[in-house]
Structure 1
Amino acid sequence: MLLRQEPWPDAWVLGAETVEVCMSFVVRRGRLGRLVSCASAIALLAAAPASLAQAPLWQNGPPASASQGVPREHLAVVEGAGGLYDGPVAAYVSQVGARVARAAGRSGCAFHVLNSDVVNAFTSPPGCHVYVTRGLLTLINTEDELASVLGHEVGHVAANHAGRRQQRSVVTGIGALVLGALTRSANVAQIASQAGQLSVLSYSRQQEFEADGLGVRYLAQGGYSPYGLVDMLGALQREDQFDAARRGRQGQETAAWARTHPLTGDRIARALQSARQAGPPPTDATAAAGRDAYLRQIDGMLYGDDPEQGFVEDRRFTHPVLRIGFEAPSGFTLTNGATAVGIEGPEGAKGQFSAGSLSGDLERYAYDVLRRTVGQAPAQLGASERTRIGGFDAVVLPARAQSGSRVLDVVVAAYADGSGRAYHFVTLSPAGRAQIWDPVIGSLHRLSPQELAAAQPKRVEVVVVRPGDTVQTLSQRMAFDDYRLERFLMINGLQPADPLRPGQPVKLVTTSRRGR
């Protein structure tokens, strides 16, 4: 495609006083599963129309979390992670958290559940606010384990780890470190030089060990088993091993010194030593009672993607509320999020699917998305093309931009749904390879009745083992096409040869309509 040089219209250029904020998660896996540099708006693909900047992708209006006790400083992180998950599960987590906080001698702590399937927990100043995700709650099997997570996070607050780091935007946690950067400079890479980064990682590792030790102390003082943290770290280790096997990462573990948080095995050994010093392990009867109590509380909890944010299944995205979907060919992967669907393709290609309000011309909307994507970088714009795709009026706008030493093809494909909403893809690929995105861009469509019927949310369903049930037979009831046995064992903390006793409660993931 012949590209022509064209300046941005003056009305669309960001003002000189614009300050960009980049908030990045480092998590173990999931929708926010890698460190994102703030170095380039092009590389990030983080820009979106202004109407999307303050709220989750598929919602309108102010963030719901603003009226639910979340500090203003946390709103962007909370809403970016899916918002809050309310109801009986959240009330239960707050109840356990209050007991842990009393044991720690802390007042004014608040405990929140995030509507995210990422396995994660974190805390952040100001004050004492602890966040856990639905994904982590699915992995937990006893109230002792839940209390250990909350105690660990309260330990970060009690030890003033954020203050000792002397970074206003530090968020510490079992599975994550959230770094906020506020800068006018595009050369943010200098901030994360290798020497500086390794220094931060080492310091964080010591913080994690300290928070683990405090968490074990709070467990014992609060009447919980001090072995809860040992069990919790073991569950995290099993989940990480399962995820590594599923994604083909066997044998590619990162060295302990290069991790934001220490290897789970290292922490288990230390936590076990602390637990032995704090008290005896729970009896079988006590452990069973704690498991039963916890599982009753999460029975019916949403699992995986929230239908309000759509579903990703393999290389297919469907949104039953908006009744739209698209599919990527082999070699691509999709990652669902609260504000966008991330897409990765061959040859380092990256893309994003998002949405916004459409109050004017669709071509102007596409230019606005492109302008916000490339920022102030010089760009060669190609001729826009108006077309019809999947029953939608569409505009495809190509460009070529420079990102450091790389020349990238950038394409925005925008679609009008006829009701004041627009959808769009933003894609990046090596120069001359933009066509690899054609199947994705051409696949957006309105869902058929059959697709709508198949797009059912998954939930945690607690069932009672009956005579003759085995891990093999029960795992066949899991609502997955693959790894049913492995998933069943992972979320229940079981081994393949473990016997099941009649009357024992276990977790399944099903498409049951019961919800909490």
Structure 2
Amino acid sequence: MGKQTNFYVLGILLLGSLFYSGCATNPVSGKKDFVLMSEAQEINLGKQAHQQVMKQYRPYNDPALQSYVEGLVDELGKKSHRANLVYHVTVLDSPQINAFALPGGYLYITRGIMAYMNSEAELAGVLGHELGHITARHGVRQQSAGTVAGILGAGVGILTGSGQAAQAANIGSTALIRGYGRSHELEADRLGAEYLANVGYDPQEMLNVVEILKDQEEFDKQLAKEEGREPRAYHGTFSTHPANDARLQEVVGAANNIKTAATREAGREKFLKYMDGAVLGTSEQDGVIRKNKFYHTDLNLFVEFPEGWKVDNLPDRLIAQPKTGDAQLQITVDDLNKKQTPKEYLNEQFKGQISNGQPVQTANFQGYTGYTNLTTKGGKVPSRVAAVFQGKRIYQVLIAGKDGNALNKYDAAGLTTIKSMRQLKNAERKLAKPKNIKLIRAKSGDTFASLAKRSDIATHAEEQLRLLNGMYPDGEPKAGQLIKIVQ
């Protein structure tokens, strides 16, 4: 009992010394914050994390847009609580709707979220929000709290002989780019609105940005209902509160008291001109889906999926499923590392548990397919699997139904998809180019329904045009107004 008490006293002393040495003045509040790193350490942490981020993303290849965004960040940064920092912003080549920040002055914004903005002020609102996370040292404060938890967890591990608590205590360190808690998000909103006002924008533009994401969520609820799935939740900027949140209205409204507020126009046309020609959806490097067909230049690959199926192009796989949602087809790609036939490869992967196997010959590729039972948490799932060889590449295909009846229902369509896999024809290479935003001047009588017919959008074209132009779920373009369509 006495030894445990001594450990307890030592723990209190340790925490006391940590608190004393780890307190620093917050640049925003002027109050003492509990942090365990200096500003120099914070900057170094940001540099290291930046390298990790750029292993996961590509910078978007549009020097003019990158320079434009950098200029806005520099302007906002000079009017922030940490004007001494050099801010580094990267436009990411990603269709994801996201923006985030790292300690020490590193910001990221995707072309995906920018496609749905309609003014410079909205862009500045997102950037200002992310600057707020940096200036208020949210990442550092979160990291410091996690470090203390890690220290205490390590102590528990020493006393109990178990490292599990220490391992769990460090999980929070992964949250740097997953977003922050509600209080930090609201503080970032307040700071973003303040920085907007500092450079002359109406701080209420912050609410327009929130509305962009909420419209996306409402549209996804519609899709989820049609597809028989749960709606997706957005986990990035502003995701923790609705646009009509009273607390959000309050913190944004406080920026109205700044004298310089609303002396600058929103910059709608200036911003939109940077969006003319911007990539929408996946890039050429990731492959392009047009209706039910997939084109990939670098892989020299064409695939045709069943008519009416929803196809998702994810970073590591293609996923297609019927509207009923009771079956799924997946295609992944890997290197061929051993000299094998498709049959040998497939049998090796599934330990010989392949039944009714048969060769598959496509226009350019050779493969092998058969049936197996995949083990999942829900039990055995009957599936068709296939290996399709393209030179030194292997395409792994899986067709699974929720039960045997579902697989039987869609098996023929899945096999047809496998047999459709081939090299691109010369005439198809232009179709492997990504979809782009095109600006037009609306004419009298134009509606989103009529403009949808001119856009290369496979499904829900009218709704998606409304989302792109900030007029979801209703409203129509006015004559002379710049409008985004898709080509």
For normalisation by structure 2, the TM-score amounts to 0.68
Partner of 1:111, secondary structure, is strand
- Structure possessing the higher radius of gyration over alpha carbons: 2
Partner of 2:86, secondary structure, is coil
How far apart are 1:334 and its partner, in Å? 2.0
In structure 1, the partner of 2:240 is: 262
How far apart are 1:223 and its partner, in Å? 2.9
Q: Quick one: which of 194, 198, 208 aligns to 1:231?
A: 208
Alignment of 1:500 onto 2:487: no
Residues 453-462 or 242-251, more deviating: 242-251
Question: Contact conserved, 1:81 with 1:337, CA < 8 A, in 2?
Answer: no
Q: Distance in 2 between matches of 1:480 and 1:254?
A: 21
Alignment of 1:273 onto 2:250: yes
Q: Quick one: which of 103, 108, 112 aligns to 2:86?
A: 108
**Residues 413 and 481 of structure 1: CA distance in aligned 2, closer, same or farther (over 3 Å):** closer
**Residues 128 and 427 of structure 1: CA distance in aligned 2, closer, same or farther (over 3 Å):** farther
**What amino acid does structure 2 have at the position aligned with 1:293?**
K
Q: Distance in 1 between matches of 2:183 and 2:209?
A: 19
Question: Contact conserved, 1:465 with 1:500, CA < 8 A, in 2?
Answer: yes
Q: Distance in 1 between matches of 2:470 and 2:457?
A: 18
Q: Distance in 2 between matches of 1:370 and 1:265?
A: 54
**What amino acid does structure 1 have at the position aligned with 2:185?**
E
Question: Contact conserved, 2:342 with 2:368, CA < 8 A, in 1?
Answer: no
Alignment length (residue pairs): 403
1:55-454 equivalent positions in 2, closer than 5 A: 73=49, 78-80=54-56, 84-104=60-80, 105-106=82-83, 107-125=85-103, 127-166=104-143, 204-248=181-225, 261-267=239-245, 269-279=246-256, 286-287=264-265, 290-329=267-306, 332-344=309-321, 349-358=327-336, 360-363=338-341, 367=345, 381-382=353-354, 386-396=359-369, 399-404=372-377, 406-409=379-382, 412-418=385-391, 420-426=392-398, 436=411, 437-448=414-425, 451-452=428-429, 454=431
Q: Superposition RMSD on alpha carbons, in Å?
A: 4.4
**Residues 347 and 238 of structure 1: CA distance in aligned 2, closer, same or farther (over 3 Å):** closer
Q: Distance in 1 between matches of 2:320 and 2:168?
A: 27
Question: Contact conserved, 1:409 with 1:434, CA < 8 A, in 2?
Answer: yes
Instruction: Give per-residue Cα distances to partners, 1:197-236, cap 9 Å, x unaligned.
Output: xxxx997233322221221122122333212211111222
How far apart are 1:131 and its partner, in Å? 1.6
Q: Distance in 2 between matches of 1:239 and 1:231?
A: 13
1:20-39 equivalent positions in 2, closer than 5 A: none
Instruction: Give per-residue Cα distances to partners, 1:88-116, cap 9 Å, x unaligned.
Output: 21221222122222222251321111212
Instruction: Give per-residue Cα distances to partners, 1:235-271, cap 9 Å, x unaligned.
Output: 2222332333344369977999xx994243355x444
Question: Contact conserved, 2:95 with 2:111, CA < 8 A, in 1?
Answer: yes
Alignment of 1:460 onto 2:437: yes
**Residues 412 and 88 of structure 1: CA distance in aligned 2, closer, same or farther (over 3 Å):** farther
Question: Contact conserved, 2:49 with 2:102, CA < 8 A, in 1?
Answer: no
**Residues 497 and 403 of structure 1: CA distance in aligned 2, closer, same or farther (over 3 Å):** closer
Q: Quick one: which of 451, 464, 467 aligns to 1:487?
A: 464
For normalisation by structure 1, the TM-score amounts to 0.64
| 5+ long unaligned stretches in structure 2 | 1-45, 148-163, 170-177
Higher RCO, Cα 8 Å, sep 6+: 1
**What amino acid does structure 2 have at the position aligned with 1:417?**
Q
Q: Percent identity?
A: 25
Partner of 1:445, secondary structure, is coil
Q: Determine which structure has the larger helix proportion and give its number.
A: 2
Q: Distance in 1 between matches of 2:126 and 2:358?
A: 52
In structure 1, the partner of 2:33 is: none
